[in-house]
Amino acid sequence: MATEFIQRVLDETRGQERSVSWFRKKIREFGAPTSTELVREGKRSNTPFHGRLNMFFYSPKYKDKLPYYDRFPLVLPLERYSGGFMGINMHYLPIPLRTRLLDKLYEFSSNDKFDSTTRLTATYNRVRNIPMVKPTLHKYLYNFVESPFRRIDADEFIVATLLPVQKFSKASSRKVWRDSRGMI
């Protein structure tokens, strides 16, 4: 089930394939929703949805020691750990690189329907050699998640990836993306 905002954008496609620039224009036209609205709408759970993108609020345990962090990650979980998980946070890349990484991740699709039945079967071992993945890998501890996990289904991936809803603390998006480019 798509969020109200994401569904409005998807409805505008009228079943036609559209370019990334078309989606970006529609998002600007509609005005990006708030992160709270995005989490409140759609399918939610207290545990992450593996095989799908997830949005949630987060406050890291060691935030005082981190140079910066994303308070509203958009994450594809890769590995489960005791007390948490590791995943790819798309927000650590500028939007053009996010879409390139998303294209690479589509190689791990469980089917070609790109709907609520589609899962990305990516694991750390399967993606670790993709250069764009390196700056996006982060561990998340369940005790520091501050909201339910909002599931993003495959038909919503492109819109969610293009939304400018990252919430970096202690650094600007520009600084984070410059550092990420330097790691690739």
Averaged confidence pLDDT in the chain: 93
Q: Which residues of 61-89 are buried (b: 16+ CB within 10 A; e: fewer)?
A: eeeeeeeebbbbbbbbbbeeeeebbbbbb
Confidence of residue 96 (pLDDT cuts 50, 70, 90): very high
**Tally of structural domains, the chain:** 1
pLDDT value for 150: 95
Please measure the distance between the N-terminal and C-terminal CA atoms of the chain and give it in whole angstroms: 34
- Rounded to two decimals, the pTM is 0.92
Q: Are 94 and 168 spatial neighbours (Cβ–Cβ below 8 Å)?
A: no
Number of H helices, E strands in the chain: 7, 8
Amino acid type, 70:
D
Query: Which residues span the domain enclosing 173?
Result: 4-183
56 bridge partner residues? none
For the chain, the helix, strand and coil percentages under 3-state DSSP, each to the nearest 5: 40, 20, 40
pLDDT score, position 2 = 46
Q: Has residue 20 got a pLDDT over 80?
A: yes
For residue 158, name the pLDDT band (cuts at 50, 70, 90). very high
